[in-house]
Copies of this chain bind each other. A is one copy, B any other.
Amino acid sequence: MKTTEFDLISRFFAPLAESEPGAFGLTDDAASISIKEGRLIVTTDALVSGVHFPEQTPAHLIAEKLLCVNLSDLASMGAAPRAYVLSAALPGFVDDNWLESFSKSLASVQKTHGMVLIGGDTVATPGPLTLSVCMLGEVDEGKVIKRSGACPGDQIFVSGTIGDAALGLLSLHGGLAGLEPAMREELEDRYHRPRPRIDLGLRLFGLANAAVDVSDGLVADLAHLCESSSAAATLQAAKTPLSPPAQAALKANPELLTAVLTGGDDYELLFTAPRESAQALSRLALELKLPLTAIGSITESAEEKGEVRVVDENGSEISLPNKGYRHFG
């Protein structure tokens, strides 16, 4: 006998909602939760098999990525995660083993980030596995960090390292064959398992003027931030923080710089801050054990707002064939 939707929910998903009485064990029409006075932050991100992750990706990595890409959006707003709902269109191959692995991985991520599943919808699909999460976070009134606050003169910072996810995807597709297996593995892991920078986001209010997470690619997301802020930016390519495997990959093939600067899925935070924040940001980087690297500066907008000039060590402009992932490009 095949599993009914109700069995499926009670076996695999209801345990993820146990700690929230207002989720009603996922048996009611909707959840009812209390929100402390302040701002509610709401984001949604969907993943389609074969589009956002390779079809053969194991269930636990899909679950992790699904939550982490949404968490990363909360991080960029400076929000604390609170709860999420899951909408899952499941093709026929999804069986109990798959669901067990998927739901265990959700449980692990939600525990790490102190949030809870409060609802969902599980439907059958003749198409690819399609997952959508809507995530709720909380921010104290007046403490939201927006994209639109960047000011000319701000330094541009990025957390962690950039380009690992794009190189990891390249490796998954058979590229980077010359790289040591351990390095390829590290890059692939960075592609599969984003590290949402929640702790950093919670500390940026008062230091940063604007923030965005790097999902479409460093240059594209910086362009989005500049467009929202009616500003422009100069990005110093040589200052982009690279992991040891990315350094090795670029040494073997310098043309990969384009993938590093325009590839997506890094899920680091890109933010702008006035010069006077620099010292506090250095201390914060030490405290969080997370590099925060200055990679350029915000400039006055010339004709075209949102323009990003990428320059090399000599200040000469580097032209990039494409500036980031465009979903319908």
Residues of B close to A124: CB separation below 8 A: 48, 51, 327-328
Chain B min CB distance to A125 (Å): 5
> Is the CB of A87 closer than 8 A to any CB of chain B?
yes
Copies, count: 2
Residues of B close to A132: CB separation below 8 A: 46, 87, 121, 132
User: Are B118 and A42 in contact, with the CB atoms below 8 A?
Assistant: yes
User: Are A87 and B134 in contact, with the CB atoms below 8 A?
Assistant: yes
A234 vs B121: C-alpha distance when bound (angstroms):
29
> Is the CB of A278 closer than 8 A to any CB of chain B?
no
Partner of A2, one of B22, B32, B328: B328
The range of chain A's interface size is 35 or more
Stretch at the interface among A77-85, A185-193, A238-246, A254-262: A77-85
A77 vs B29: C-alpha distance when bound (angstroms):
7
Residues of B close to A130: CB separation below 8 A: 89, 125, 127, 130
A77 vs B134: C-alpha distance when bound (angstroms):
20
A122 vs B44: C-alpha distance when bound (angstroms):
10
Q: Which residues of chain A from 1 to 40 have any CB-CB distance to chain B below 8 Å in the complex?
A: 2-6, 8, 22, 24, 27-35, 37-40
User: Are B125 and A44 in contact, with the CB atoms below 8 A?
Assistant: no
Chain B min CB distance to A194 (Å): 14
Given the contacts A73-B30, A125-B51, A127-B126, A43 and B119 also touching, CB distance less than 8 Å: yes
Residues of B close to A268: CB separation below 8 A: none
Residues of B close to A121: CB separation below 8 A: 44-46, 132
> Is the CB of A160 closer than 8 A to any CB of chain B?
no
Partner of A326, one of B5, B43, B118: B5
Complex interface bits, A113-147 against B, C-beta within 8 A gives 1, otherwise 0: 00000111111111110101010110101001011
* Chain B, residue nearest A43 (CB): B30
Partner of A42, one of B8, B44, B83, B212: B83
* Chain B, residue nearest A25 (CB): B228
> Is the CB of A52 closer than 8 A to any CB of chain B?
yes
Nearest 10 interchain pairs by C-beta: A127-B127, A134-B134, A30-B43, A5-B327, A87-B132, A29-B73, A44-B85, A46-B87, A132-B132, A29-B76
Chain A residues in the interface with B (C-beta under 8 A): 2-6, 8, 22, 24, 27-35, 37-48, 50-52, 72-74, 76-77, 79, 83, 85-89, 118-128, 130, 132, 134, 136-137, 139, 141, 144, 146-148, 212-213, 224, 227-228, 326-329
A to B CB contacts below 8 Å, 10 in the list:
A28-B228, A29-B213, A30-B41, A44-B121, A44-B134, A46-B121, A52-B123, A125-B130, A127-B128, A132-B132
